[in-house]
A and B are shown apart, each in its own frame.
Chain A
Amino acid sequence: MASGRDVREMLGLPGFDGPKTAPAAKRSKAAVPGKKIQGVAREVAALYGERPPPVAVYEEKKSYRAKRQSTGPAKKWVLQPFTNQARSDGLVLKHWRRKPTSLPTAQSGEDIAIDEPNSGENTDVYIEDSGEFLRYAVQPDMPTFSDEEYNMHLRSDDWSREETDYLFQMISDFAYRWPVVWDRYEYKPSSNSHLSTAQDVPDMENPLATMPYAPSKSRSVEDLKARFYDISAKLMKLRIPEVQMDADQYATYEILTKFDPVLERNRKNLAAALMNRNMDEVKEEEFLLAELQRINMAANRLDAEREELRSRLEAPVPNTQVSAGLASFTSSTALAQLFSQLFQQDRSKKRAAGGGGGGGAGPGRLSLSAADHLTNTPTSTSHGGALSGVNRRQSLAQPAIQTPVRHLSPNAELRYNVSTHERLTSGITFGADKLLKMRQAKSNVQTQKIGQALAQLGIADIISIPTARVGDAFESLITKVSKLLDVRKVREKEEGECRVLEAMKARRMSEIQGDDDDDDDDNRTRREIQDSQERESPSGNGEDDDDADADADADGDADGDVDVDAEGEEEEDEDAEGEDVESQMQQSTRQASEAMSTRATSTGHKRSASVLSQTSTKSNKRARK
């Protein structure tokens, strides 16, 4: 071929160019698989194609066997007689061995001599002494005892000396293979006190008739073990006192003494019962196991997901326990943070996706704050108008999603604690957090005051089961508390003003008149004030007490109600006080026309507030009932 191409090349024939490139390409392609696979026939390697098997199934360095070197004459083999060192009877067997080169040549000279028929008498044949397999001739380690020892310590009511010896013989014969020992254990007490092994002999004559003997006491494996371990332990203790045993020995001793045949027998019965279960039971177990595995897998997956979430949040990795991991999210701030981060991610994703759909609903409009979601309550709206504005905007931006809702009867809704919402916020809020949030006002002072008021009412910091209804009640309570606080603030302000005005008036009076009239007048008004207080407060109190009693009687969960009532009472007091102040003022401000306007508005405010609170408490009570 090459020569043909050469010829064509020399002659400058056409068709030279074509074939030239093709074989070149072919060759290079063939060369690409690169390193020739070692140890595999070329034909087989060709079958691999582009992708050689991932695991080499050939020997690494296999090549053609080196040519046999003929190093001198053929080695001779001899059928070598040998004795086995593990045998005591000097049995001579023969195996093939290389003829030792160092063998005295005289032996080979003897060849002919040995040929004589009487070669059996030949004693100078080399007999190999083979100890090659000596290591396989192992004798089991057995405890031994003397007659005195037996009589002193090892006697047993259940076991004769003869049978004990038989047992030891069996154990040694079968090298502690208890199932085999038990299987072959056929002790027959002999009439004369010979060794038990010797009395097998008469039995030989009549192999099939093993029955003529009365069946010996049948012993279970546990019985055999118990006897043997008992003896071993006693012997061990005799040889080495307990205190002198080293750790290993003591461990063995413990095992020997702790053996409990009854326990062992029970265990075996259980094992047998386990094996003899029927198909259904096995199926059930399999099913349960599969289920368990499924649950485990789900739990693992959940863990992994949480782990991933946590690592995304770049939170300091808490300990791996699930509960602990969850605990770090129980505080509302942590959750709020989590939410905002998630939301941020979500948003950036949306933005990346192009935000094709809603032209109007730009990302800016959706800028919710975490607080918005977590404190989506009327309280918060009353606290901050800005937030409610955001809410409104959001509700505008998110058209109500229509999902088919299965309607429950109101009764059932109550029972299953199902609530329907006009609008759902994404994410999860905790009822407890909602309650916690309600306690917080804008200013620290206010928060403290609310806290104090609640503490006074005996409401715990953490309400254990914050259901929706409890939330509602709490919410109205908080509303009232904050209103009352407002009222109190106003009152304090007014009182302050009054004092100032009074002081002013007094000074003016002293300036203008400076005599007793004034004093009398003053005293009178004071008395009036006291009277009115005495007159009015008992009635108010009485009324409210009645209410409270009624409540307490009506329902067992008196706490909340009573609290509310007490609050109402307080409120009433304040009202009364307010009226006092009013009347006092009506009297005192005839001259001070300047202050009239403010007073009027403040009283009006007070009135309305008290009315409102009163009605609300009433309605609240009614609802509870």
Chain B
Amino acid sequence: MNIPNSSTAPNAGEYAGDEVSAIVLDPGYSTTRAGFAGEDVPKSVCPSFYGQIDKDSSSHYLFGENAIHDPLGNLQIKNPWGSDGIVENWDTATKVWEYAITSRLTGSRPSHPAKNGLNDANTNGNGESVDVDMEGLENLENTEKPLGDSPLLMTEPGWNSVKAREKYIEIAMEEWGTPAFYVQKTGVLAAFASGKASGIVIDVGASHTSITPVLDGMVLRKGVQKSPLAGNFVSNQIRLIFKQAQPEIPLTPHYLVKSKTQVDAGTPAQATYRTYDIPPLDSFRRNEEERVLTEFKESVVEVWSGNGRFSNAANEEMAARLPGRPFEMPDGWNQLFGAERYRAAEGLFDAGAALHDADNPKPKDEHTIPRLIQAAVQQVDADQRPLLLSNIVVTGGSTLLYKFNERLNNELNVIYPSTRNKLIAPGPLVERKYAAWIGGSILASLGSFHQLWISRKEYEEHGTNIVEKRCR
């Protein structure tokens, strides 16, 4: 009668779903994603950057998209993540994450339905409206903590330290008061989001690129590889391109421009600029520039996907003949970008082709994506390699670079010509960017998963190191 296919929802018993209104938190360097398990998109996506204004020996913090782009005096923009891909500043990280959860998800605690005035009209109602029985909701102690009655599933990078994991559970239990907690690697969850229990996950985010071999839902730790060549690296390459251009291309973020006028391509901008009495600090400007650069990445940067590497003389010539792409800066300056646009992301695959200067050292060859994959596969049992290579899951915001997958595919087929290499890259932008969160959403809504939660009782019994034993 009801033929199961991709468009009909399976029965609850079939997918073992059992939603316990768990919250999934996927913190990343550029954004922090949070939402209820069982939903398909994180409801709350907040920047991981936060604003800080130091005023006479005390600091004032600002969180959220609206606050951090407001050019306040002495505002500096910071990020709690360290350069090694592990949280560095735990206090602010906690605050950023808490903001991501409370701003959209839990919010203020609901008042009792009998008193909140919403149900007044219902006294003589006809019973059509779904009447939620609130008795269960009020049964547990009404904590002031943000996660009083939601289990929390967090994601962590594959190389997270034991100390960091223990800090995670400590924050969740002590500060947010969650009844149950679990932490899972982003790689595993990204694979789950694509419906794979085994595979190699290539995650090119903002601060780090990581390769995670996953077997039956478990990370093969020896194979986990990471490198700092990711979205931020591409941004820095673009900055270098701008700087090394003749003449230098000015990079003026939006907040400095009051109004602009149309100018011809390549001619200096004619805009009126804003000035501030107490200007925000440099880090603010840098973050604002980053927005422009992301825009540039989205619309201009392209990964060379022709034969071989871009640095071949023939390829550069060919690229120069291809039509360029226009880009306009916030101040009206605009130009057609030809072969340069291939240069920005080439460093991800070919360290030799990366631009460099004093501040941006030449990337290491073993940090390029093909070498990382090779290193990861090398660390896996020989029998599992073909299986993993036939399930290569691609995720992370920077994989949205135009033609990224084609190039990756080419590179893979060069390294492993004899295996069947299959890239699994979800088409929709949301699924690509939020794959780890979506995988967590799937996992936390499974009835069979509820055996795995670390409960408050267990935490109190065993202390923080229980996370090492349970979340393997």
Contact = CB atoms under 8 A, between A and B. Distances in A.
Interface of A: 59, 61, 70, 73-74, 76-81, 84, 86-87, 89-96, 99, 107-108, 110-111, 114-115, 117, 119-120, 122, 125, 130, 132-133, 136-137, 173-174, 177-180, 182-184, 197, 200-201, 203-205, 207-208, 221, 268-269, 271-272, 274-275, 277-279, 281-282, 285
Given A74-B129, A120-B140, A132-B447, A91 B453 contact: yes
Contact of A180 (B21, B114, B132, B215): B215
Nearest to B114: A115
Interface of B: 1, 3, 16, 18-21, 112, 114, 127-133, 135-142, 149, 151, 161-164, 166, 179-180, 215-216, 218, 220-223, 380-386, 414, 416-419, 447-448, 450-451, 453, 455-458, 465, 468-469, 472
Given A133-B447, A179-B380, A76 B131 contact: yes
Contacts of B451: 84, 86-87, 133, 136-137
Nearest to B84: A208
A86 B465 CA distance: 22
A444 B161 CA distance: 103
B135 A93 contact: no
Given A119-B138, A207-B163, 12 more contacts: A92-B179, A93-B151, A107-B135, A122-B139, A174-B218, A179-B215, A179-B384, A197-B469, A208-B161, A269-B382, A275-B385, A278-B417
Closest 5 CB pairs of A and B: A207-B162, A120-B141, A136-B448, A91-B455, A79-B136
Contacts of B468: 200, 204
Contact of A275 (B416, B450, B458): B416
B139 A114 contact: yes
Contacts, number: 163
A79 B137 contact: yes
A94 B19 CA distance: 8
23 contacts: A74-B127, A77-B130, A77-B132, A78-B135, A79-B137, A87-B450, A87-B455, A89-B455, A91-B457, A99-B133, A108-B135, A119-B140, A174-B218, A179-B220, A180-B215, A203-B162, A204-B162, A204-B468, A205-B163, A207-B163, A221-B381, A268-B381, A272-B382
A177 B216 contact: yes
Contact of A89 (B127, B419, B457): B457
Given A77-B132, A117-B142, A277-B417, A182 B457 contact: no
A119 B131 contact: no
A114 B135 contact: yes
B383 A268 contact: yes
A207 B156 CA distance: 15
Nearest to A120: B141
Contacts of A91: 179-180, 450, 453, 455-457
Contacts of B140: 119-120
Contact of B136 (A74, A80, A89, A272): A80
B139 A204 contact: no
Residue with the highest number of chain B CB atoms closer than 10 Å, among A77, A87, A182: A87
Nearest to A203: B162
Contact of A96 (B19, B127, B455): B19
Contacts of B179: 91-93
B149 A94 contact: yes
Contacts of B223: 183
A111 B119 CA distance: 16
B139 A125 contact: yes
A251 B64 CA distance: 64
A120 to B, nearest CB: 4
Contact of B418 (A120, A137, A173, A275): A275
B220 A81 contact: no
With a 10 A CB-CB cut-off, give which of B3, B112, B216, B417 has the most chain A CB atoms: B417
A271 B180 contact: no
Nearest to A126: B136
A117 to B, nearest CB: 7
Given A91-B180, A136-B451, A179-B381, A279 B136 contact: no
Contacts of B453: 87, 91, 93
A95 B16 CA distance: 13
